[in-house]
Amino acid sequence: MEGENATNTDPAGPWTLVVPLKPLARAKSRLAPVAGADLRPRLALAFARDTVTAALSCRAVRDVVVVTDDTEAGAALAALGARVVPDEPDSGLNAALAHGERTVRAERPGAALAALNADLPALRPAELARVLDYSAAFPRAFVTDAAGIGTTFLSAAPGVELRPAFGGSSRARHLDSGAVEIVLAGIDSVRQDVDTGHDLRAALALGVGPHTAGRWAAGVCSPDR
């Protein structure tokens, strides 16, 4: 937490972010009451585009690896500059993240890496940089979602296993695993993932990226539905 003594005084250096994305047809199922069957996958892709765009614009980020089997999403995110690898395990979120970690460290064993949710449409590069800079002082660290239950970000220093435990009450699991919870002011955009209409309203209030804003401006959905 903020003010806690660092356990590693050497900065980790440029970061690789691993971003998992399930096939769009299955993504963001809890937005169905808001968006409907047609818009829901397009919103999921817009969220991912804004997340990856912001991440690649962050000064602390070396590269972004997206783990997905969705060809449309893969092509769109590769066009932004992300590296896309197939979700070969196809065994859920944490397996996808572990696969991304193995892929990165097979090529760069000393990489500092972090898992980042793909549904952070309000993500700001400067806020992400603050989180990454702070994370560099610890073997593993994480950011709790805006609801205070889940996790949007988990880091692992060079030589440290990521050990992702995302999904549901992941804050408690990451705490139990020994990861340090990052409690910094002014990182709301790193915490605000979008699963529900309430989450979408909160993200819009923060200010979403151009891809999500474009969907919104088109008037094809309302988070108040």
Distance CA 43, CA 51 (A): 12
Query: From its phi and psi, is residue 164 left (phi > 0), alpha (psi between -120 and 50) or beta?
Result: beta
Token duo for residue 210: 């151009």
pLDDT in tens, the chain (225 residues): 333 333 333 444 599 999 999 999 888 888 877 777 778 889 999 999 999 999 999 999 999 999 999 999 999 999 999 999 999 888 999 999 999 999 999 999 999 999 999 999 999 999 999 999 999 999 999 999 999 999 999 999 999 999 999 999 999 999 999 999 999 999 999 999 999 999 999 999 999 999 999 987 775 544 444
Number of H helices, E strands in the chain: 8, 7
Angle, CA 178 vertex, CA 172 and CA 181 arms, to 5°: 60
> What is the spatial distance between Cα 225 and Cα 213, in angstroms, rounded to a whole number?
17
Residues 6+ apart with CB under 8 A from 55: 17, 19, 61, 64, 116, 123, 125, 128
Residue-level pLDDT at 25: 87
Per the confidence metrics, is the pTM higher than 0.85?
A: yes
Q: 79 Cβ partners below 8 Å, 6+ apart?
A: none
Q: How far is CA 171 from the centre of its chain?
A: 15
With beta carbons less than 8 A apart as the criterion, state whether 27 and 47 touch. Answer: no
